[in-house]
Structure 1
């Protein structure tokens, strides 16, 4: 997600672009975040992510697809207050589907 957003909107250096981006993604009824936390977010992106999740919390559905266990999310988000807030908003209202250890890319036959 971070790479896509950075590529699409640059480094978010223009005033107001970040807020516009948060409103745009906040308005979707369903947002699917694939490769969640594959790249560790920087401080700027963490702040934007917190604002986006806060906006969507309790009003819209968000699907996080990840290879990481829940216990690894906090450190990958950089720890600290922002990580606490992001994880709290996701975890407490989540429905979890654990795919186990199966590799979905392996051919079954």
Structure 2
């Protein structure tokens, strides 16, 4: 059920949000995200993996008021790792293509 899922998200030690910013956020998703982030604030760790730079997150979330509240909780005291370089998936695919199986 929805309530059980929300409870599990709140209790987990590490919540991983992968591919953050890949799809538009609906009104309901914004509200759910705010609820999860608010309830987890100070209780558990949240890891966000994204190709979207943090300066674009506010626009991605949409609603200015909710975006301010969500980002304040997410980014306050956050540790950021900005990775640069070629895609490892792309490099791996190129290596696979160059191997002659015969």
TM-score, normalisation: structure 2: 0.81
What is the Cα deviation at residue 82 of structure 1?
A: 0.7
Query: 5 Å matches for 1:35-74?
Result: 35-74=19-58
Q: Deviations over 1:28-58 (max 9, x none)?
A: 0011111112111111110010010111111
The higher radius of gyration belongs to 2
- Residue 6 of structure 2 is aligned to residue 25 of structure 1: no
Question: Following superposition, which runs of at least 4 residues in structure 1 exceed 4 angstroms of deviation?
Answer: none
Give the length in aligned residue pairs.
93
CA distance in 1, matches of 2:81, 2:50: 11
Q: Match for residue 78 of structure 2?
A: 94
Ranges in structure 1 where 5+ consecutive residues have no aligned partner: 1-8, 10-16
Q: Determine which structure has the larger helix proportion and give its number.
A: 2
- Residue 67 of structure 2 is aligned to residue 80 of structure 1: no
Ranges in structure 2 where 5+ consecutive residues have no aligned partner: 96-102
TM-score, normalisation: structure 1: 0.77
